[in-house]
Amino acid sequence: MELQNIIDQSIEAQSKEASATVTETLLLNKTLKIEPLTPEAFKPFGDLIDKDNSEFFMINNGSTRRYHRMADVDVADNGGEPIISIFQATPLQYPLSIKMMERHPLGSQAFVPLLGNPYLILVAPKDDSPNPDAIRAFISNGKQGVNYHKGVWHHPVLVLKEEDQFLVVDRAGPGNNCDEVYFSDKVQVELTLDDLVSI
């Protein structure tokens, strides 16, 4: 009986030690909550491009509504010029482990969905490096575009449908306009589709 107690105590001690090792190894372990995309929620990171609830004025002899200046293109630093591109993206596998973020220090970058499909947006506040504990996840309803402000950390585009497409307005010109930061293996940030908000 005494021997069994010793064995049980040893197993318990090993279990506690293993648990402590995992806790000490992981600096961060979190699952992102996906939020609806609203102007107020996205304001710290950029502009929401969405005609719903936006002001307009009539042009072309009253046949057209112009939703004016929904975002500012900020690309002129260091001789930059605005360009328009089309991105075609395919979905990644979910749950997705977030391993990196990027930023564009010399210019804004706007994404406008062309096919009307919902897609995901991951952002973190401006700083020297992205804070993985401050990452926020949003879902667009497929009609909403976003304009990342210069220097805002974000994940590359995350689509949910095959062969999705975006019109992209960003910068061409001299200088390095893409910083990428990869997280340590001790940081675990996961994005799942389990709690997608209704859109």
Domains of the chain with bracketed CATH = 27-191 (2.60.120.480)
Q: Please give the Cα distance from 88 to 162 (Å, whole number).
A: 9
Q: What's the rounded Cα separation, in Å, for the pair 134 and 125? A: 7
| Contact criterion met (CB below 8 Å) for 171 and 80 | yes
Q: pTM score, two decimals?
A: 0.84
In the predicted model, residues of the chain with pLDDT beneath 50 are: 1, 3-4, 6-8, 10-11, 13-24
Task: Give the pLDDT of residue 44.
Answer: 98
Q: Which residues contact 6 (CB under 8 A, 6 or more apart)?
A: none
On whether the CB atoms of residues 90 and 159 are closer than 8 A, the answer is: yes
Distance in angstroms (rounded) separating the CA atoms of residues 129 and 116: 32
Say what the pLDDT of residue 191 is: 97
Strand-pair category, 119-124 with 136-140 = antiparallel
Q: Would you list the DSSP string of 34-82?
A: EEE--HHHHTTTEEEE--TT---EEETTTTEEE----S-----GGG-EE
The pLDDT of residue 197 is 58
What pLDDT, on a 0 to 100 scale, did the predictor assign at position 104?
Answer: 98
pLDDT at 16: 44
How many CB atoms sit inside 10 A of residue 168's CB? 16
**At a CB cut-off of 8 Å and minimum separation 6, what does 53 contact?**
none
